[in-house]
Amino acid sequence: MRCKEESDVYTPWTAKHKPRKLAEVVGNQAAIQKLEKWIKSWEKAIPKKRAAFLYGPPGVGKTVSVEALANELNLELVEKNASDYRTADAVQRFAGMASQYTTLSGKKRLILLDEMDGITGTADKGGVRIITEIIKTSRSPLVLIANNAYDPRFSTLRSYCLLIKFEKPTFYEVLRRLKEICQKEGIQAEADALKLIAKKDKGDIRSAVNDLQALAQGKKKLTYQDVAWLADRDRKDVIFNVLKTVFYSKNCLDAKRAVDAADMDLDMLFEWIYENAPHHLKDPHELAEGMDALAMADLYRGRIRSTLNWKFMRYVIDFMTAGITVSKEGPARGWTPFQFPERIKWLSKTRKNRKMRSLIGLKIGKKCHLSSSAAIREVLPFLRIIFESNAEMSAGLADWFDLDDSMVAYLAGSQGS
């Protein structure tokens, strides 16, 4: 039982709660019906279009729809990433043979070539051309998946395919799926908390489920306060992909390039890496090496702040990315979810209080001829004691410092501290 529980902890919820039936897939019902109708048409005769080309943004359910359909129709699914088969010979050995021969079990076969975008780079040695040739004579339905079916390299290929566009699920469809997962995991989630996750991930169901797991796993209750800081999160790209590159890339150059993919404040990225290092560098020697690299990065960050010499930034980037990559000595073991930085969450949750302290500090500083920071450090603690215990003196001080009602409430402790 204990092994099963530990295994569940390290299982991505995107896999654990993957749809097994078409009815469980979030959104895109019209696209799914079109795909199902095309596959079932093979039962009567080989259709004019022997391949279906599914395209649309990442994380919207293209692959899971094919997998769920194969499961429902009892088809043998032969699934590969097209980006792993860039040359014509490699594609022919896999897809060509699979498209011509029947299965040993007698089941009908469905061939899936995922991540077609990866086959369009300069390393492509005829892969797209041979796929087009395979489609012309395929005896089994062939499904291709890409984010962009209208890449110029697919111009000929498209004419042999049934194009099926997948859209981002609606906000309410994503929200409903998050509620279902919380119910299965035994988590009581506040409606506003789930709404914020659904809103921030903008129809990317995979990212939404990953975010939910990172925020809620191990908890029995998920509150709005647990996720409120997401509203201020600076993340134009999926930060998990950036962290995955930094921690698991075998190439230092790729790790350094992850900074460009992050498109976020470098101090924020440092916090993400620092938070996750102990969880992903599990070997003590690896962790020591990684933390040494982060310490050097932090040292140079301090030098930048004190000297305003931005040339040091190159060292910050090198140490916090490539430094982590080279600290890894062996292959990854198991799956560990990425964690949101606790320090960033704490700063977000306490922003209102810090702003209030700053405003009161300005008022005190003006009257006492102190800097705001000195007023907060040296005077404010004594004011809090007075305001919590002596109402008459508090009234006089509030008038003298020109404090408004919210400031008085804060000092008196009737507002969060």
For the chain, domain boundaries? 28-165, 170-231, 239-341, 350-412
Other Cβ atoms less than 10 A from the Cβ of 79: the count is: 15
Can you tell me whether residue 168 is helix, strand or coil? coil
d(CA 361, CA 326): 46
Nearest to 185 by CA among 61, 13, 7, 68: 13
For position 334, what pLDDT does the model report? 60
The answer to whether domain 170-231 has CATH 2.20.130.10 is: no
Other Cβ atoms less than 10 A from the Cβ of 385: the count is: 10
Alpha-helical regions (H) of 249-322: 252-262, 266-280, 284-307, 313-317
- What's the per-residue H, E or C state across 23-76? HHCCCCHHHHHHHHHHHHHCCCCCCCCCEEEEECCCCCCHHHHHHHHHHHCCCE
pTM above threshold 0.85: no
Residue with tokens 């019906």: 33
Beta bridge partners of 55: 146, 165
Residue with tokens 């984010």: 147
Four-point Cα dihedral 203, 207, 211, 214, nearest 10: 160
d(CA 142, CA 148): 18
For position 237, what pLDDT does the model report? 44
Residue 59 is encoded by which pair of tokens? 């994380």
d(CA 210, CA 13): 7
Do residues 331 and 261 make contact, with C-beta atoms less than 8 angstroms apart?
no
For position 347, what pLDDT does the model report? 61
Residue 352 is encoded by which pair of tokens? 């209102």
At 200, the amino acid letter reads: K
Do residues 122 and 56 make contact, with C-beta atoms less than 8 angstroms apart?
no
The answer to whether domain 28-165 has CATH 3.40.50.300 is: yes
For position 199, what pLDDT does the model report? 87
- Give the distance from CA 55 to its chain's centroid: 20
How much helix, strand and coil, in percent to the nearest 5, is found in the chain? 65, 10, 30
Ranges of the chain with pLDDT below 70 = 1-10, 82-106, 120-126, 229-238, 260-265, 330-335, 344-351, 414-417
Helices (H) then strands (E): counts for the chain? 24, 7
For position 83, what pLDDT does the model report? 60
